[in-house]
Structure formats: C-alpha cells, structure tokens
Copies of this chain bind each other. A is one copy, B any other.
Amino acid sequence: MPDSPPIRPGMVIGILGGGQLGRMLAVAAAEMGFACHIYCPDQKSPAFAVAAARTIAPYDDEAALAAFAGSVDIVTFEFENIPLATLRSLAEKVPVLPDPRSLEATQDRLVEKQLIAGLGIGVSAFAQVASQSDIYSALARTGRPALLKTRRLGYDGKGQTLIRTGDDPVGAWRSIGEVPAVLEAFVPFEREISVVLARGRDRTMRAYDVAENVHVDGILATSTVPASVPAALADEAIAIAGRIAEALEHVGVLAVEMFVSTDNRKRLLVNEIAPRVHNSGHWTTDGCLCSQFEQHIRAIAGWPLGGAERHDDVVMENLIGDAVAEWPALAAEPGARLHLYGKTETRPGRKMGHVNRISPAGDT
C-alpha cells in the first residue's frame, strides 16, 4: 500500500476510531485540505463533531465496512485495539496505512515483547502465561514484583495487576479474567521516556524530541520536553524507536515508551509500542510547527514528512476525570493552551482534555 498514489487535497481519509486521537487527526487533516470520514461503533464519539462524514457501526459489520471503504481514499486508525480482521477486510478494497502488520505486532503484548527482544533491544524479563499452571514457572523467570498483563486489549493500566512478595499468583490470574497473559519483571526505573516518530512511505523518518513521562495509576499524567536525560541517551532512545519502526516497515506515527533503569548503566528498556499517534506526543501541537497529527496524515498520505523541530519547551498535563472541572483556571493561565475533547460524560480515569504549558526553549 505504500506504493499507491499520494492522497491529494480534497480526497477523503477514513479513520477507524472516534476518540480524541481520531478527533485531533481529523482536525489536522482538515487543515491540510482533506475531508475525514470517521468509523466508530460509539455514537457519542468525540471525533464525529469535526468530521465531514461518520459511520456508526460495529467493527465487524461487513456491509458498513464495504460502504466505508467505498467512500474513502485511504484508511488509517487512531488506536490499536481495532480487530485485525476489520483492517484486513478494508485492506482488500482500499489502501490501509499503517499496514495491518504494525497492529498485529503491537496489539498482543507477548508478540510485541518477542519482537523487541528479537531485535536485541532491551526489554524487561517476561514469560507467557497461557494457563494457570504457567504462572509459577513464569514467576521463577521474572522474580517478584512482577506485572501480570492480559496479552490483548489493555490500555491506561487496565487489564494488569502487580504480583508482590506474598501475593497469591492464582488470585492475580483470576483478577485479570484468566485470559492469555504475559508476566513481566517489574523494572525499578528512574524515569519513563517516550519517542514519537514518523516514518514516511519513502522510508524517511523524523523523530520529535524525547518526552519524559509521569504516569499516575497507570495513566499518563504529564509529558515534559525536553526530557532530563543526557543527549546520548536521548539519541539512543530515538535510534531504538527507529529500529522498531523499520522492523515493522511502519508508515505513519509510532510511539515507543521506555524505562530508564535505575542501575548505573542507565539501560533503556522498551515498555510498549503504540503504532499510532500517542498521548505523549500531544505537546507537539503547541511546541512544533508540524504536530504529530499532521505528521501522521503526511506519512500515510505519501506526502513528505514535516519538520519535527521544537520551538518551545512544553509540559503537557492530562486532564483526567474531574480534573477537567479546572478549565476556567486553565483557560486564564498565561502560557497555557487548553485542549478539550468534547466528551459529554466525565468519568474517573477518563481522558477529558489536556493542557500544554509553553516556555521559551532553553539550551539543552
């Protein structure tokens, strides 16, 4: 599909998924002169409000998918839990980018970790837990504490539990629903960072500056650029993300979350790959001329990638659940840009918006 003709202004980009990432992709695409058609089962999808067309249907509705494929010039996706069969069905009729392979490799945590390990890239010790009987051998491999995570459909800390010394491993297995899982060693880390990069159809890559991330209760709370890591470590992180993107032959934006280990060697351990625009890249909208959203559209459309240079320092803070009630104060804060997702219902743990706090770029 990277060989299909470039997408020209006026053409229609189909986006699977109607959350805030789809919404911000649709806005960026509109600014470039494209029309967007959002496909999402949820009729309250925030992305619908900024799209030229919408389809409300389940991801396995073949008739709706066929009609969608017939109405768009290319398809992309905003999150990685789209069923693979959906993408494959669409890919028979219309170009789909990133290629479904990127999704296949990342929507299963075990396959993802095997990919990373296979590239010789640092990853915490892990073991498959296919059944209850696997859990003790897996613990023998990872030690404690260890994180037991479902192989599929986990996000924002969901579908995972920590097994500490003294915890009942079988209870942990039950708490995640006794589904195929992976156990991974809990890595003591001094900080979390991420790389957001884009790879174009022409195989060029552009990486944004490394972000330093803080998670609270498994959900990203803040991303800060520049990250307080040595330049060599930042370069290494970008190189790792680039090798992953190349291994996947990925086209589009891709994000790689990593831990910086607490030991003296400051090893980088890859935690997670997201084959899409990423929350830790939201700072780019106000810190760069070309945001991660425009960059993703450029990549899949076959346009040259935009510059990823940063014109300001940025701290991005997520507004989760009731935190969005602070919007009046945030709207009044100098140097802050408030982004709200138009979600009608506030729920604990739900991402309602974010704020980018800007300051002139220092010397790094």
Contact = CB atoms under 8 A, between A and B. Distances in A.
Contacts of A342: 9-10, 30, 33-35
Interface string A4-46: 0000011000000000000100110011111110000000000
Contact of A332 (B10, B34, B304, B335): B304
A341 B31 CA distance: 7
Nearest to A36: B49
B344 A331 contact: no
Contacts of A52: 48-50
27 contacts: A9-B340, A23-B30, A26-B50, A27-B27, A27-B30, A27-B50, A30-B49, A30-B50, A30-B342, A31-B339, A31-B340, A32-B340, A33-B340, A33-B342, A33-B353, A34-B342, A35-B342, A49-B52, A50-B50, A50-B52, A289-B337, A289-B358, A290-B337, A298-B331, A303-B331, A306-B337, A307-B334
What DSSP secondary structure best describes chain A's contact surface?
mixed
Nearest to A291: B337
Interface of A: 9-10, 23, 26-27, 30-36, 48-52, 286, 289-290, 298, 303-304, 306-307, 311-312, 324, 327-328, 331-332, 334-335, 337-342, 344, 353, 358, 360
Given A34-B342, A298-B331, 4 more contacts: A33-B342, A48-B52, A49-B52, A307-B335
Nearest to A290: B337
Nearest to A30: B50
B31 A27 contact: yes
Contacts of A339: 31-33
